[in-house]
Amino acid sequence: MNEKDILELGERCGYPSHQAIALKTEASGREYWRLTRQNASFILCYLDPQKGSHAQFIKIANIFSEHQINSSKVLDSFPELGITIQDDLGDLSLLEVEDRNDSKELTLKCLDLLVEIQAIPNLNIPSLESADLINQMMLFNKIFCNEFLDVEADSSIEKLIEKASSELSAQPHVNCHFDFERRNLILSERNEIFVIDFQDLSRGPIGIDLAGILLDHYSLADHDAINQALKYYQEKSSFIDSSIDPFELFRWGGVQRNLRILGVLSRLYLHEDKDFRLMDMPLILKNLISIVPDNWTCKEYLIEKIQPKLKNKLSII
């Protein structure tokens, strides 16, 4: 979509505007635009109705509003056009504030928000089954290794996937955003954190969202800072007690998440010609390696085989 298309859609929906500014395009195909007119602005989200629906997002937005969760609110929707109109929370995602002096404090605020989301009772939302999580991790083997890097995945990766699946099955299952990372967390003018892009909210292992916010795709993992944040989270959460090692919850959530993301980004490039996240891959892989237990064979394989293959692949794209 271009600006002219979006302005025409906005006018059809009753939101005539003088400018439409592209904000971001998601892996899901959702496009976000800021509509501005006089002193007002709105966020228009477009998703081709042939590719999906906003219904689940709207449902969760209403639930979050009922429970006073800081989140984007739906002001209007036009399902036949694939459009929702949302309130404008601003552009300041936590990706833009990592160098602030209060970045650690902001991380703790994110964990406070995560605790609130996880505590909402009796939600009628999908569950992330073990088979789903395994299939997502297998994208690393099938797409990232086989198709993108043109290398056969070592059997040690399958053992890692089996271990991650077993560990995740044993974790407490909670309301899981499934992409609870800094790109999807907005800092308001009042220094409050708001969550966006929550259409995939599901019942899932507690470690996946912990990994989303603490195992960043855009900065090298700091294990000391991660452990401090996990200690804070453990004190706040009603789902884990002092007998549980929160790092192990985080570790296996991170393994699942990073294997999955490397597969998804490869698929977007190979099958949909979307290369906007390729340069994130080396750090995602490096952070994955950092949380794999030291005595696992796959760690050596990832360092000696996969890292050089990825470096070479990206150098020729």
CA pair distance 153, 145, nearest whole angstrom = 6
3-state secondary structure the chain: CCHHHHHHHHHHCCCCCCEEEEEEECCCCCEEEEEEECCEEEEEEECCCCCCCCHHHHHHHHHHHHCCCCECCEEEEECCCCEEEEECCCCCEHHHHCCCCCHHHHHHHHHHHHHHHHCCCCCCCCECCHHHHHHHHHHHHHHHHHHHHCCCCCHHHHHHHHHHHHHHHHCCEEEECCCCCHHHEEECCCCCEEECCCCCCEEEEHHHHHHHHHCCCCCCCCHHHHHHHHHHHHHHCCCCCCCCCHHHHHHHHHHHHHHHHHHHHHHHHHHHCCCCCHHHHHHHHHHHHHHCCCCCHHHHHHHHHHHHHHHHHHHHC
Residue with tokens 């996240």: 277
**pLDDT at residue 150, as a whole number:** 98
- Superfamily classification of domain 3-87: Phosphorylase Kinase; domain 1 (3.30.200.20)
Angle, helix 246-272 to helix 223-236, in steps of 10 degrees: 110
**pLDDT at residue 84, as a whole number:** 98
CA pair distance 53, 60, nearest whole angstrom = 13
CA pair distance 14, 185, nearest whole angstrom = 28
CA pair distance 232, 238, nearest whole angstrom = 12
Residues of the chain with CATH 3.90.1200.10: 94-316
Q: What are 303's two structure tokens?
A: 């360092």
CA pair distance 302, 156, nearest whole angstrom = 10
Residues of the chain with CATH 3.30.200.20: 3-87
**pLDDT at residue 180, as a whole number:** 98
CA pair distance 82, 33, nearest whole angstrom = 13
Residue 114 in contact with residue 236, Cβ under 8 Å? no
Look up residue 268 and give its amino acid.
Answer: L
**pLDDT at residue 101, as a whole number:** 79
User: Residue 283 burial (CB < 10 Å; 0-12/13-18/19+)?
Assistant: middle
- Angle in degrees, CA 256, 196, 117, rounded to 5: 70
**pLDDT at residue 28, as a whole number:** 81
CATH class of 94-316: alpha beta
Averaged pLDDT in 10-residue chunks for the chain of 317 residues? 96 97 86 94 97 96 98 97 97 85 92 98 96 98 98 97 98 98 95 96 98 95 97 97 96 98 97 93 98 96 98 96
